[in-house]
Amino acid sequence: MPITKALETHIDHISILDEHGSFDEALGKDLIPDEDLLKLYQHMVVCRKLDEIAFKLQRSGRMGTFPQNMGQEATSLGAAYMLDDTDWMVTCYRENCGLFWRGLPMEKILQHWMGDERGNQIDRKHYCTPIAVPIGTQMLHATGLAWGAKYRGESQIACTFFGDGATSEGDFHEAMNFAANLDIPVIFFCQNNQWAISVPTSIQCSAPTVAQRGMAYGVECLQCDGNDIFAVAWCMKKAIESARDHNRPVFIEAVTYRLGDHTTADDARRYRDEEEVALWQSRDPLKRMRTFLESKGLWNDAQQAELDEHAEATVTAAVERAESIETPSRDDIFNWTFADIPEQIATQRDTMRTTSIGQDPSQIASEQATTQA
């Protein structure tokens, strides 16, 4: 018998506004109205300003470790822009721009990285899950959240975000397998930023694309220029349709770049070339957007100066709010472990500064002596 092909396929790559300013009218026309473009650009500038100020806060000892979002603003923002406000955003920790679009107060993010769990006490009206520190585990939660909505007959879907490194984790594969085989409406959004701390994508995936990982599970796959908010929006539109209307998961690989260090605890100069960073700086999503807006006569230097001022004021005010929040009560260590605090935890809370935690004082001789005296 002749050899036949068991599978022949391809993955679309979407680019609409490239780094040279070329705009694909056929794909990009009417995708994002001009007034929204301006708002999106403003969000990116404010988010970039947060990175700058957060870095200084960390260096001056006013905040703990912080992961900058620099260079990746268009990915989560483009996704959040296209989702409904009641669709779940199940993020990791480099999606600030999208979260701010959802209305999550900036001081919440600051409060979290300032070491206060209340930063993750996110109002459910935002439909955003807490910052996920362990890598590549939250995709399963997204799958469950979307599954619950589907079970109840709601039209809500979930979009989960993760990096290229997370696609090496088993939970990523289990989540795609569950979503595909059980028809659960999830969008898997990979921010391929080329680096997992110091390890390049080639160590995570030796196939030509990360996107094709979805194919093995029967998931529709797309790749786009992640620094091009139009391309992100285009992919999201298609993915939302598949998820919402057909309960089919979609995998999007947004190719982007982490312009900053992994976190403020990292120094990327130890492991990557300056030329590579310079190349990606030329592809910066903010620069690209500004040039495009200027070319359309929607933006000028005066507006930029005003926006820069607004960004500085917005972030400074958020920092002030975050820093003015009182330190949590030490009882909070105990009080959130369960809905009803078991007696043993209550005893530990109430005796945490004594040497006889959990003991019956009547047993202690010196105590008896004191009582008798």
Show which residues are catalytic. Answer: 258, 262, 271
Among 229, 211, 233, 231, smallest CA distance to 220 is for 211
Report if residue 329 touches another protein, rule: CB under 8 A: no
Among 201, 217, 295, 290, smallest CA distance to 254 is for 201
Closer residue to another protein, CB minimum distance, 15 or 168? 168
Closer residue to another protein, CB minimum distance, 114 or 158? 158
Candidate residues 30, 206, 360, 369; the one interacting with another protein per rule CB under 8 A: 360
DSSP one-letter string for 181-195: HTT--EEEEEEE-SE
Report if residue 122 touches another protein, rule: CB under 8 A: yes
For residues 291 and 241, give the distance between their C-alpha atoms in angstroms, rounded to a whole number.
31
DSSP one-letter string for 251-296: EEEEE----S-SSTT--GGGTS-HHHHHHHHTT-HHHHHHHHHHHT
Q: Within positions 266 to 325, which residues make up the interface with another protein, using CB under 8 A?
A: none
Candidate residues 134, 218, 276, 350; the one interacting with another protein per rule CB under 8 A: 134
**Residue ranges of E strands in 60-185:** 88-90, 158-163
Helix (H, G, I), strand (E, B) or coil at 226: coil
Report if residue 143 touches another protein, rule: CB under 8 A: yes
For residues 24 and 39, give the distance between their C-alpha atoms in angstroms, rounded to a whole number.
21
Closer residue to another protein, CB minimum distance, 207 or 339? 339
Closer residue to another protein, CB minimum distance, 176 or 293? 176
Report if residue 118 touches another protein, rule: CB under 8 A: yes
And the tokens for 245? 């209307």
HSE-CB for 291 with a 13 A CA cutoff: 15
Candidate residues 42, 120, 263, 351; the one interacting with another protein per rule CB under 8 A: 120
Closer residue to another protein, CB minimum distance, 126 or 272? 126
Closer residue to another protein, CB minimum distance, 7 or 339? 339
Binding part of the chain for another protein, among 34-42, 147-155, 219-227, 255-263 by CB under 8 A, reads 147-155
Q: How many residues of this chain bind another protein (CB under 8 A)?
A: 48
Q: Within positions 71 to 100, which residues make up the interface with another protein, using CB under 8 A?
A: 90
Distance between first and last Cα of the chain: 102
Helix (H, G, I), strand (E, B) or coil at 220: strand
Closer residue to another protein, CB minimum distance, 111 or 227? 111
User: What minimum distance in Å lies between the beta carbon of 178 and another protein?
Assistant: 5
Q: Taking a C-beta distance cutoff of 8 angstroms, is the pair 229, 74 a contact?
A: yes
Report if residue 208 touches another protein, rule: CB under 8 A: no
Report if residue 124 touches another protein, rule: CB under 8 A: yes
Q: Which residues pair with 23 in a beta bridge?
A: 17
For residues 19 and 8, give the distance between their C-alpha atoms in angstroms, rounded to a whole number.
32
User: What minimum distance in Å lies between the beta carbon of 102 and another protein?
Assistant: 14
- Positive or negative, the CA dihedral 197, 200, 204, 210 is positive
Binding part of the chain for another protein, among 38-46, 168-176, 256-264, 306-314 by CB under 8 A, reads 168-176
Candidate residues 4, 9, 151, 275; the one interacting with another protein per rule CB under 8 A: 151
Binding site for another protein (CB under 8 A): 90, 117-118, 120-124, 129-130, 134, 137, 139-149, 151-152, 158, 170-171, 174-175, 177-178, 181-182, 332, 336-340, 342-345, 358-360, 363
